[in-house]
Structure 1
Amino acid sequence: MKFSALLSLVLPLTTVLASPTSRDLAPRADTSLTGYLGVFFLGDAPNIYFYLSNGNNALSFKALNKGNPILVPKLGTKGVRDPSIINGAGAEAGKKWYIIGTDLNIATTTWDASQRKGSLKIYVWESTDLVNWGTERLVTVENSDAGMVWAPDAIWDPAKGQYLVHWASKFYAASDTAHSGKPGADVIRYAYTSDFKTFSKPQTLIDKSPTSIIDLSLIQLSENSFARFIKNETATNVFMERSDTGLFGTWTRPGGGTTFIHSGVEGPYAYADNITPGKVNLLLDYYGSDGYRPFTSTNLNANAWVDASRTNFPKNLRHGSVLGIKQDQYAALNAKWGS
């Protein structure tokens, strides 16, 4: 999220998930999905850009709309970062998609000010076809003790039957209304929604104080198993944890308590492979260099990530998301914005 400093992937209900009885299984390949849509921002260009996979290759993408933005926010700070594209689920499965993002235009503020008196709202766009997105809305999700709302993302909670939306915030004492003092550590917060218009009262999801954490990404592995990827803002690395007892279950870190995937990175985003069973693709944002670089794993019981080919992976993509799509959706996106 910070330049200096799932569901994320929400799986389509048509995805065949691994059996919840086996810890060794990850999301299985879905033959109904024939491509990927990537949604990103580009550093000093805080708009939303679409990238379409070259065929059904999870790590090969081309820019849509000749590299121009698809969505340019008009409300709030007029700058959107960290866009996440979310599959509709429940009654909205196959009928609705959402894009949510951080309301932050760093060109109009400073990193310090953006964390003290930053936006407490998130951008929301919605679509019924992945092509037409209409205009954005801004929705307040956090209370006034918070300094900001960063990197919102969402996952369908099957136990709740609603979307669990999460983000990073830091908090100031209630008496410090100017937010001029020292805040607490960054924590991950969450709220539930059924429509991305009305949200429940925000609560804390993950607190690792005094360590600051941001940029949570979640992926569902089976009915009750999930993996989550988090940036340690204090140590500037990304690590993975796993739960086999639900979103609010017991989380452990494969490899041990200090294991991490890479340092000097942020904005993790994980998505299941359409073709290879058990394979998960992971993007990590090298914020001091050339942006997202891809990694893969077929064993989420371990900290076993392999550098993936970057031959056809675009450079300078920043914290975003990737969605598996069907052939008709692929064709419609290509017809609308392809070269």
Structure 2
Amino acid sequence: MTLTRRAFTLGMVATGAATAAGLTLAPRRASAATHTAYVKTYFTESPNQSGADYGLHLAVSRDGLNWTPLNQNRPVATPTAGELGLRDPFLLRKQDGTFVVVATDLRGTDFARVSQYLHVYDSADLTSFTGYRRIRMHTYSNVHTWAPTVFWDAARGQYAIVYSANTTADLFLVNYTSDFRTVSGPQTYFSPGFPVLDPDIQVHGGVTYLYYKNLADGYLYGARSSTGAPNSFTTYTSGLRQGNAIEGVHLVRRNDGAGWWLWGDSFSPVNNDFYLWSSGNIGNNSWSVLNQRDYTPPLNSKHGSVVGLTEAEYSGLISRWGTPNWVRLKSSNFPDRVVRHQNNVGRIDPYPLEPYQDQMWRMVPGLADAAGVSFEAVNRPGSYLRHSGYAVRLDPDDGSATFRADATFHRTPGLADASWTSFRSHNVPDRYLRHSGYLLRIDPLGASSALVDRQDATFRIVS
């Protein structure tokens, strides 16, 4: 115990010296700017882990609901120390307007491996990441340091790094810092008498809100404090859960000021990756479940964070990292399913799936008419979705005019929802791409068709 105190005394002395030099005064807050978009951090996993990558990933969104991966869904930075991988990357816009990323030091799913450290990156505008380092949060043996969240504690004039640990119980610890290099000693931040996991914290209207998973019952809850000080929180919501298991809670304040979103990450990559609620007032115990039609997480994404962006920042990210050269097609009336190929058959199946590349398509100019589109399989280059006997299958382009016409479709406003998309056959123009019994085919459809048939023919182009 003496060694632990001594180790953290050195850190606190360094912090105290910086304070004496005038370096830990509350940083100057960046001038107010309008946020018109969002950025999301995450790592990736898939059901059999073929899509696992434990580097820092970024995605952007205009509406905060439907996400576009950057850098072809590859990492923009990868740790080079510790466990050589990260999980749970948390992005914070600091008081000076620049960014810091803090993440769990763990690669893979061997949760018996523990680290006393967190990964840290600095970034001016998210087009590059500098100053990579690890910071030691504690000196306990066999205690994990998971799922950090960070907030500015105005009363202290420092940032609070709160994270999951398992000292005397599964609880949250906190360390305070001014520079994300030197930290204070750990303190118990939240230990409500039952085991907890995955904190997320937002300060709004002078109140500090802490959302977490209760490991005893498997539900997400919200607590609040008028000070944000350790051990000052009172739970004020009833339990929230969708699916079979949920964790990785994350709060997002909407750019339009209309309220909040609450994301929950599925416990396992074999389940749907994210679930979502909305509320007009974070202070009320009132969260509404959003339909999966309304949101699309990045491909294979897991447990991350979301921050608002200015228009210039959004444009800079697109310019620097680029958007995917592939798309996915999401079903309107089965929004947990996407178009994929399997054994050369076109169908819709629940997401996530393996091989995960079976749902990825290059939407290219129509093979028979450049005004239309054709769908080339990312993992079967030269093979396209085409209809044959009205059934849709994946076949290699044989160069014939018939094949090219069969593989060409024309985009139209969605038959069931004009904000989505339907695809009319090029050479059988009264028929549309639709699913029936989860299999893809082309059938005659129009405004007078039954609603369910028009829903079957309506898709959202996502990435």
Normalising by structure 1, report the TM-score: 0.78
CA distance in 1 between counterparts of 2:303 and 2:92 reads 15
C-alpha separation in 1, matches of 2:264 and 2:190: 20
Question: Corresponding residue for 1:101?
Answer: 103
Distance 1:148 1:213 in 2: 13
Is 1:233 equivalent to 2:215 in the alignment?
A: yes
Q: Cα RMSD (Å) of the superposition? A: 2.1
Instruction: Tell me which amino acid in the other structure corresponds to 1:298.
Output: G
Separation (CA, whole Å) in 2 of partners of 1:254 and 1:316: 32
Larger relative contact order (C-alpha < 8 A, sep ≥ 6)? 1
- Answer yes or no: is 1:273 the counterpart of 2:259: no
1:51 aligns with 2:59: yes
Instruction: Return the letter of the residue paired with 1:243.
Output: S
Q: Which residue of 2 aligns with 1:285?
A: 265
Question: What residue is the counterpart of 2:225 in the other structure?
Answer: 243
Query: Which residue identity does 1:149 align to in structure 2?
Result: T
Of 276, 283, 287, the match for 1:301:
283
Work out the CA distance in 2 between the residues paired with 1:73 and 1:245: 35
Alignment correspondent of 2:196: 213
The alpha-carbon deviation at position 250 of structure 1 amounts to 4.3
How many angstroms apart in 2 are the aligned matches of 1:239 and 1:14? Answer: 32
Deviation at 1:292, TM superposition (A): 1.7
Q: CA deviation at 1:283?
A: 0.8
Give how far 1:285 is off: 0.5
How many Å apart are 1:146 and its aligned residue? 5.1
| SS of aligned partner of 2:213 | strand
How far apart are the structure 1 equivalents of 2:85 and 2:247? 19
Aligned partners of 1:40 and 1:215: how far apart in 2?
14
Question: Contact 2:33–2:310 (CA<8 Å) still a contact in 1?
Answer: no
Q: In the aligned structure 2, how far is the partner of 1:143 from the partner of 1:291?
A: 33
3-state secondary structure, aligned to 1:329 = helix
Matching residue's letter, 1:291 = D
Amino acid in structure 1 at the alignment position of 2:60 = L
Q: Distance in 2 between matches of 1:329 and 1:310?
A: 28
Whether contact under 8 Å (1:239, 1:262) holds in the other structure is no
| 2:78 partner SS | coil
State the partner residue of 2:320.
336
Deviations 1:247-289 (A, max 9, x none): 458433224xxx2111621010101100133x01111001231
Deviation (angstroms), 1:206: 0.8
Contact 1:51–1:61 under 8 Å retained in 2:
yes
User: 1:190 — aligned with what?
Assistant: 174
What residue number does 1:160 align with? 156
Higher strand residue share: 2
Amino acid paired to 1:271: V
C-alpha displacement at 1:47, in angstroms? Answer: 1.5
Q: Is the 8 A contact 1:75 1:136 kept in 2?
A: no
Residues 163 and 173, structure 2, Cα contact 8 Å, conserved in 1? yes
Paired letter, 2:57: Y
Does the CA-based 8 Å contact 1:46-1:79 persist in structure 2?
yes
Q: Which amino acid aligns with 1:133?
A: F
Asked whether the 8 Å contact 2:260–2:278 carries over to 1, the reply is yes
Q: Name 1:63's counterpart in structure 2.
A: 69
Distance 2:87 2:60 in 1: 19
Contact 2:190 2:231 in 1 (8 A): no
Instruction: Confirm or deny that 1:262 pairs with 2:241.
Output: yes
The answer (yes or no) to whether the contact 1:290–1:316 under 8 Å persists in 2 is no
Amino acid at match of 2:39: L
1:93-127, Cα deviation, whole Å (9 max, x unpaired): 12x210010001135xx33x22xxx1100000001
Query: Which 4+ stretches in 1 moved above 3 angstroms?
Result: 12-15, 244-250, 309-312
Residue 188 of structure 1 and its aligned partner are, at CA, apart by 0.4
Which of these two proteins has the greater Rg computed from alpha carbons?
2
The Cα shift of 1:221 comes to 1.4
Q: How far did residue 304 of structure 1 move?
A: 1.3
Q: Matched residues in 1 for 2:69 and 2:291: separation?
A: 18
| Alignment match, 1:88 | 94
Distance 2:29 2:296 in 1: 28
Verify the 8 A CA contact 2:188 2:231 in the aligned structure 1: no
Between the two proteins, the alignment pairs up a number of residues equal to 284
How far does residue 317 in structure 1 lie from its aligned partner after superposition?
2.1
Alignment check: 8 A CA contact 2:101 2:120 kept: yes
Contact 2:188/2:230 (CA < 8 Å) preserved in 1? no
Amino acid at match of 1:284: G
CA, structure 1 residues 37+272, in 2 after alignment: closer, same or farther (shift >3 Å)?
same
Shift of 1:14: 6.2
State which of 140, 154, 165 in structure 2 corresponds to 1:144: 140
Post-superposition shift, 1:135? 5.4
1 CA distance for matches of 2:208 and 2:124? 27
Find the aligned partners of 1:81 and 1:252 in 2 and give their Cα distance.
28
Could you state the TM-score of these two structures normalised by the residue count of structure 2? Answer: 0.58
